[in-house]
Amino acid sequence: MSVDFGGANQEATIGGLIFDATHTQMVGLIGKVFANYVQRHRAEKWLLFSNYVIGDRNRPNEVVALTAAPAGDYWTRRCPMPGGQNY
């Protein structure tokens, strides 16, 4: 299959076309969902956790995973330690 990408005629794969279509939809959706998440939790601080699988020959593909979580007073008010201790 041949597709014109901005004047550069390149071979396209089905996987590439699926990725492009999904990416275009997800970028807009993720931005809206994340904005709603931030608005709903109203935390003054945030934690960002990350996990990576890159260049591992024992894995079928490479993966980057990111998780954003509210922190600061938001966390301590909602997740107290046993016995009421502070962090």
Q: How far is CA 40 from CA 52, 60, 68, 78, 87, in A?
A: 28, 36, 13, 14, 24
Confidence of residue 2 (pLDDT cuts 50, 70, 90): very low
Across the range 2-26, mean pLDDT stands at 65
Across the range 15-24, mean pLDDT stands at 76
How far is residue 40's CA from residue 51's CA, in Å, rounded to a whole number?
A: 25
Residue 82: predicted pLDDT: 66
Residue 49: predicted pLDDT: 93
pLDDT tens column, 62-77: 888 989 888 887 777 7
How far is residue 3's CA from residue 9's CA, in Å, rounded to a whole number?
A: 6
How far is residue 59's CA from residue 51's CA, in Å, rounded to a whole number?
A: 14
Q: Where are the domains of the chain?
A: 1-41, 43-87
Across the range 23-45, mean pLDDT stands at 83
